[in-house]
Structure formats: C-alpha cells, structure tokens
C-alpha cells in the first residue's frame, strides 16, 4: 500500500512535468477550415501552457473552446492543461470532448488515446485507462503515431500493469518498448519489475500450524497470540517496504520525468 502511494506521487510528478507536451509537439492543427482568430487565440493559450503558466492557459483555452466548440486541438490542449494542474476530472472531460470531435470530424490523430489513458490512470480508473491504451495500440492508430509515440505508449501501459502488480504484462510491454524502439527507460522499469518479483518470491508462505502446544502443555492460537505487538510489527514492515520502494523510485526519478510520458 505504501509502495503504491509513493508510486502515485511519482506518477503525478511525471504527469505535471511532461504530459503537457503531447499536443504541443504536433505541428498540424487538423482543422484548417477554422477561423484565423480562433487559431491565434489557441496558439496564445498553447504558448502559455508551454511556459508553465497553467492558470492563464486554462483561461485562454477555455475562451477558445467557448468561441469554437468544434476545435479539436483547443479541447485537447485544455484537457492537457487541466491534467498538468492535477485536475483529472476536468482533464477527462475536455479530452473526451476532443475525442468526440475527432470521431465526428474524422480527424487523423491517435496520441489522444495515450493522453486520456494517462488521465484515467491518474484518476484511479485503471480499467478505462487500460482500454484507451489498448485502443492506441491498435494497428490503425499505430499507423498515425511516430516511433517515439509508440515507445512511450508501450511504456505507459507497462507502468499501469506495474502499478497494479501485474508483473507479467508489465514485463511484456516494457520488453516490446526495448526490442522495437530501444527504450532505455523501459530497461529501468524492467529492473523495477525484477526487484518486485524477487521480493514477492521471497515472501514466506504461511503454513497451517495453528494451534500449537507449548512446552508447559498449554494450547495457544497463533492467530490471536501476542496481538498487542501485531500492530507495531505490521506498521514496521509496511514502512520498511515503503522506504525501499521510495528509494527505487527516487533513484530513477530524474530520467523518468524527462521521458516517461509520450507526446
């Protein structure tokens, strides 16, 4: 539990520092028929987000969305701004609207599946996050992604499975990121998977040795014996495990925040 808490903190840092670049890296606006003034206002909001002025960016992009409700990239970047601001419900709202516009206007774009998947991941809806990641990995959408985007998408779904404790699937996707796109970050994730698997393998299995008879002939129930110390030792091992997990994450944090989320 403690490990998962630290892991979520780490992931939120990654999201705050990196996820906002998703839409910014795209040169095409996808809808050339839009009025020039809307595009100009959108570019202003995007520039604010690029410079870390999140509140001002949200205000500007919100205005664009109201003025031009069918503007795909404006909805997309507004969702990213909220995502960077850790307002995940709002992020999901606008990314979902962007996805609806994409489908309605038949816009050829696929990085949005990675972005909205990350938003649901941060919100704690792992099933929905998984479904969007898998959509992004479908062949038709893969054709719209750069190799860099494909690599980051594989890393993200691997992270999702790692957080859920599904080490086998996490290893599968990290291995694909390494084999297909040479991801050095996935190699570090694989090291984390191996360490966690090793810890899980070393956990002793509980034997059914209850009840037992002491040398004095007394029968005791091991389930309840010495309960007054149980809480202390449980807390001790949880804290120790949490510190171990935090140490692993901290050692990898610098490189991860630069590379973990695609765009």
Nearest to 30 by CA among 94, 64, 75: 75
Whether 197 contacts 167, CB under 8 Å? yes
Mean pLDDT value of segment 213-232? 54
HSE-CB at 12 with a 13 A cutoff on CA atoms is 14
Mean pLDDT value of segment 76-88? 94
The predicted structure's pLDDT at residue 11: 56
Of these ranges, 175-184, 187-196, 215-224, 236-245, the one predicted with the greatest mean pLDDT is: 175-184
The predicted structure's pLDDT at residue 20: 41
Predicted confidence (pLDDT) at residue 249 exceeds the cutoff of 50: yes
pLDDT band of 254, cuts 50, 70, 90: very low
pLDDT band of 207, cuts 50, 70, 90: low
The predicted structure's pLDDT at residue 53: 93
- The beta-strand segments (E) located in the chain are 212-213, 219-220
Q: How far apart are CA 85 and CA 12, in angstroms?
A: 10
Range from 89-103, 141-155, 225-239 carrying the lowest mean pLDDT: 225-239
Predicted confidence (pLDDT) at residue 130 exceeds the cutoff of 90: yes
pLDDT band of 237, cuts 50, 70, 90: low
Question: For 157-182, how does the pLDDT look when each residue is reduced to its tens digit (9 = 90+)?
Answer: 999 999 999 999 999 999 999 999 99
Helix (H, G, I), strand (E, B) or coil at 90: helix
Mean pLDDT value of segment 135-150? 90
The predicted structure's pLDDT at residue 259: 42
The predicted structure's pLDDT at residue 16: 41
Share of the chain above pLDDT 90, in %: 46
Long-range contacts of 57-63 (CB under 8 A, 24+ apart): 57/81, 58/82, 58/85
Mean pLDDT value of segment 147-156? 93
Hey, how many other C-beta atoms are within 10 angstroms of the C-beta on 227? 8
The predicted structure's pLDDT at residue 57: 94
Predicted confidence (pLDDT) at residue 131 exceeds the cutoff of 90: yes
Pick the residue with more confidence: 263 or 94? 94
CATH of domain 2-145: 1.25.40.10
Q: How far apart are CA 11 and CA 249, in angstroms?
A: 10
Mean pLDDT score of the chain, rounded to an integer? 78
């Amino acid at each position: 539990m403690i490990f998962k808490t630290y892991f979520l903190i780490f992931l939120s840092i990654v999201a705050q520092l990196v996820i906002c670049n998703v839409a910014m890296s795209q040169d095409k606006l996808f809808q050339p028929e839009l009025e020039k003034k809307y595009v100009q206002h959108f570019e202003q909001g995007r520039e604010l987000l690029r410079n870390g002025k999140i509140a001002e960016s949200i205000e500007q992009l919100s205005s664009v969305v109201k003025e031009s409700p069918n503007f795909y990239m404006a909805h997309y970047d507004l969702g990213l701004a909220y995502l960077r601001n850790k307002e995940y419900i709002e992020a999901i709202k606008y990314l979902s609207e962007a996805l609806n516009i994409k489908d309605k206007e038949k816009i050829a774009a696929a990085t949005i599946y990675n972005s909205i998947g990350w938003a649901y991941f941060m919100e704690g809806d792992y099933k929905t996050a998984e479904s969007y990641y898998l959509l992004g990995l479908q062949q038709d959408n893969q054709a719209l992604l750069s190799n860099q985007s494909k690599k980051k998408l594989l890393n993200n779904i691997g992270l999702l499975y790692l957080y859920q404790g599904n080490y086998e699937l996490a290893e599968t996707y990290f291995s694909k990121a390494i084999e297909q796109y040479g991801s050095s970050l996935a190699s570090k994730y694989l090291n984390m998977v191996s360490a966690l698997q090793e810890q899980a393998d070393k956990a002793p299995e509980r034997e059914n040795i209850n009840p037992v008879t002491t040398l004095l002939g007394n029968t005791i129930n091991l389930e309840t014996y010495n309960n007054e110390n149980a809480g202390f030792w449980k807390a001790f091992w949880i804290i120790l495990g949490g510190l171990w997990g935090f140490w692993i994450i901290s050692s990898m944090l610098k490189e991860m925040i630069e590379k973990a989320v695609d765009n």
